[in-house]
Amino acid sequence: LPNMHIRTSLMVGFPGETEEDFEELRTFVREEADLDHVGVFQYSDEPMADSSRLDDHVDDTTKQKRYELLMQDQLAVVERRNRERTQVRQEVVDVVVEGVHPTDPSLVVGRYFGQCP
């Protein structure tokens, strides 16, 4: 469908998540889902949540590593999709300018409707 954008949020480090589980998620993001935007967050215990009482909690270092890897995977997907939009299909999109770039004042930061919060 034209002008449709699919976004989702994914969690890494849920108790019991194995390396195999995580690699399956990476494959899904890199090769199958072709998502426009993914928010990734790390599991953390919440008071009274059943998950806090589960076995096999993933350590913080592993959760951070998995977070970074999944974000890198998604960035590669987004960069490819943006190249297709701008170079192959030569789409022109309207953007909302949000401000000046934090490290280069000659640039501005903005987003198009598919990147809405």
**Residue 49: pLDDT over 90:** yes
DSSP classification of residue 2: T
Q: What is the pLDDT of residue 3?
A: 74
Q: What is the mean pLDDT of residues 75-85?
A: 89
Higher pLDDT, 100 or 36: 100
Residue 40 and residue 71 in contact, taking contact as beta carbons nearer than 8 Å = yes
Question: What gap in Å lies between CA 9 and CA 35, rounded to an integer?
Answer: 11
Q: What is the pLDDT of residue 73?
A: 96
**Residue 24: pLDDT over 90:** yes
